[in-house]
Amino acid sequence: MALPPDLPAEPSERVAYLVDVLREHNAAYYERDAPTIPDADYDELARELRRLEEAHPDLAVADSPATATVGGAPSAAFAEVVHRVPMTSLDNAMDVGELRAWGDRTARKVESLGLDPSAVRYVCELKIDGLAMSIRYEGGRYTQAATRGNGRVGEDVTPNVAGIDVVPKQLSADADEAGAPEVVEVRGEVYLPLDAFEALNASQEAAGKPRYANPRNTAAGSLRQKDASVTAERGLMFWSYQLGEVVGGPEVETHSAALDWLRTLGFPVNPETRVVDSLDAVYEFCAHWTEHRHDLPYEIDGIVVKVDSLAVQSALGFTSKAPRWAIAFKLPPEERTTLLRDIAVSIGGKGKATPFAVLEPVQVAGSTVGLATLHNEDQVALKDVRPGDTVIVRKAGDVIPEVVGPVLAMRPPDSQPWVFPSVCPCPHRSPLVRLEGEAKHQCVNIACPEQRWGRISHFASRGAMDIDGLGEKQVQLFIELGLLNNVADIYSLDFERILEHRGYKETSVNKLRAAIEASKQRPLANLLFGLTIPHVGSSGAEALAEGLGSLQELMDASEADIAAVEGIGPTIASAVVKFFANAENRTLVERLVAAGVNTQGPERSTLPQVLAGMAVVVTGGLEGFTRESVEAAIKARGGKSPGSVSKKTTAVVVGNDPGASKLTKATDLGIPVLDEAQFVHLLETGELPQ
């Protein structure tokens, strides 16, 4: 979001305005755990105030929220704790240019101290998106935990932090043998892992309550529960990253040595922390995690870079607010505020009507966002977003952008709740129906042109007929050229017409022709999934293909026969019978059969069902298997081959270039990890390695 349009032009008034606004946002974030704007918008306001203070030093206030204060006032609901060593904040680098500028300044300052800049090492740490915490131990025993507060005075949350499993209540045996320090204060971050966050939101939705906005705010709210038993149930975690007051501890000369000592005491230290020998290595580390931030099972919003030598840290010193020897490199913001211009409805391949937000374009997570999903009527009502609102938009990596909620303080006075439309936006203006017990609305007219593009794109997609070269853009083009009206038209495409279109050459057309021909040999389950039969997903399609054996048997089966198939219930059975009872659908299927698509189900496996009841996840490429054959090998032996790791997973097979998130989750859950040789042994025997 740009700076507010009502920001005064005169410098003194502008400074006063920004000071008031930033103080209010600090109170909302640090004291009420209910921020009204994303971090990126706050940073923009703070940077504008900092710029004005530099240009007009006489206007700077002593307790400027941009340059002089940290956090917010401690809550009156908790006792106050005075930090023996202040908890300072960090200056931010918003891009690589600012990070390099900090690096250059640090190198010059080090050189001015008579030191060799090339000998300085740096520690790079992930900046966890959570709540800063100071935990105190006396004689090796846990005695107190306090929030950052305003940096000097925090809130006493001792019983709440005691409920976090990974926080030691007694320092480790190794530390006791060496003599527990008289006092040690450990600084770190309390955070909420993504799986715990999703579990909480699932509970919220089941209870008909609004979803929590993000893990950071949920962690802060969970920690500040007056009932500490509620905090203990939330699944909070902790990473340690700094020492505060230490009495009687060992002499350490570097920050990395301090982290090593924290590990010996029993504190969790983030495993992605790295010590590097140059600023170029710092920049490489930051670039890596900018790209891979979503491989982690928790959220990060930046990288913290610190000079490793404590002596050099001391020589570099502090500004009024932050250390000169450290900086926080901020990752591209994943939440921003912008104007919600309108709410419209799109019609998907199966007729599902999905509301979406039409936004004033805004940069989020490195890309421009102008549209964002609103999911369904219930979510719009739950979030209470309305055209004309200023809304918070979130986009995490490749995830579709979504509207988190409105900024109520900026809502227009004449605002009215949005009402879901009753008819489809297509020329037929067919009714939009919401079936009992379902959250979605649906256009029930299969002739709806809004559905045509979605149905054909889905049919050609990887999980269905997997027609390479017939993606969403190509489908749209062929519809506009009058070459495609339904999925059966794929097998009678006029390739001469395609060749006449600018941008298509004979080589690409021949590849498309070959891909379409190859799709005729896809398994029956792929065809059934591609037909967009209501309620029939990929697993349901497999069950139908295996249970009834052929397309003709399925089309002739009664509702009772279909419902008797393992994994198929009455809802799917009813939907299948209704689909094939429709004359237009049967005509469509007959055209596909005439085109030569495979209509026979898989042969019954004669292999021993040694993997019955097992769920085996494969990540990365295996030398002896293709992607399709490895899945088929598991299923042929009675096992399941899901695409994600969960508590129900039996084993994870790791090949070349595995997905980091799957491997991390398997390790966290204690699930056996197998190489290719061990996987082959599992297929042969059903036995996991000892």
Percent of the chain scoring above 90 in pLDDT: 47
Q: What is the pLDDT of residue 636?
A: 85
- Range of weakest confidence among 209-213, 220-224, 387-391, 454-458: 209-213
Catalytic residue among 109, 127, 306, 440: 127
Q: What is the pLDDT of residue 3?
A: 64
- Range of weakest confidence among 62-76, 448-462, 522-536: 62-76
Top-ranked range on mean pLDDT: pick from 173-182, 223-232, 476-485: 476-485
H or E stretch including 187? strand 183-191
Q: How far apart are CA 443 and CA 308, in angstroms?
A: 62
- Range of weakest confidence among 56-65, 273-282, 464-473: 56-65
| Residues facing 621 on adjacent strands | 656
Q: What average pLDDT does the chain have?
A: 87
- Hey, what are 301's tokens? 């919003």
Q: What is the pLDDT of residue 624?
A: 86
Q: What is the pLDDT of residue 19?
A: 79
Assign 232 to helix, strand or coil.
helix
Q: How far apart are CA 410 and CA 391, in angstroms?
A: 9
Residue whose tokens read 């929030």:
147
H or E stretch including 452? helix 449-460
For 468-507, write each residue's pLDDT tens digit.
999 888 998 999 899 999 999 999 999 999 988 877 889 9
- Range of weakest confidence among 114-118, 366-370, 557-561, 638-642: 366-370
Q: How far apart are CA 70 and CA 57, in angstroms?
A: 20
- Range of weakest confidence among 71-85, 217-231, 414-428, 510-524: 71-85
Q: How far apart are CA 675 and CA 618, in angstroms?
A: 10
For 143-163, write each residue's pLDDT tens digit.
999 999 888 899 999 999 999
For 604-625, write each residue's pLDDT tens digit.
777 888 898 899 999 888 888 8
In this prediction, residue 397 has a pLDDT band, given cuts at 50, 70 and 90, of low
Q: What are phi and psi of 410, to 5 degrees?
A: -110, 10
- Hey, what are 197's tokens? 């966050």
In this prediction, residue 179 has a pLDDT band, given cuts at 50, 70 and 90, of low
In terms of pLDDT, which residue wins out, 231 or 284? 284
Q: What is the pLDDT of residue 419?
A: 94
For residue 328, give Cα distances in angstroms to 51, 103, 116, 123, 303. 19, 12, 24, 12, 6
Q: How far apart are CA 283 and CA 288, in angstroms?
A: 9
Residue 178 pLDDT > 60: no
Q: What are phi and psi of 351, to 5 degrees?
A: 90, 0
Report the sign of the C-alpha dihedral through residues 566, 570, 571, 575, in that order. positive
For residue 648, give Cα distances in angstroms to 193, 670, 674. 19, 11, 16
Residues 6+ apart with CB under 8 A from 515: 467, 468, 469, 470
Q: How far apart are CA 70 and CA 220, in angstroms?
A: 17
Q: How far apart are CA 390 and CA 297, in angstroms?
A: 30
Domains, the chain, ordered by start: 11-69 (1.10.287.610), 92-330 (3.30.470.30), 335-433 (2.40.50.140), 449-595 (1.10.150.20), 616-685 (3.40.50.10190)
- For 582, other C-beta atoms within 10 Å of its C-beta total 11
Q: What is the pLDDT of residue 176?
A: 46
- For 675, other C-beta atoms within 10 Å of its C-beta total 12
- For 574, other C-beta atoms within 10 Å of its C-beta total 15
Q: How far apart are CA 217 and CA 74, in angstroms?
A: 16
In this prediction, residue 534 has a pLDDT band, given cuts at 50, 70 and 90, of confident
**Does the annotation count 640 as an active-site position?**
no
Give the full edge-to-edge strand order of the sheet including 651-654. 616-619, 651-654, 673-674
pTM over 0.75: no
Q: How far apart are CA 202 and CA 211, in angstroms?
A: 8
Q: What is the pLDDT of residue 210?
A: 76
Assign 14 to helix, strand or coil.
helix
- For 551, other C-beta atoms within 10 Å of its C-beta total 23
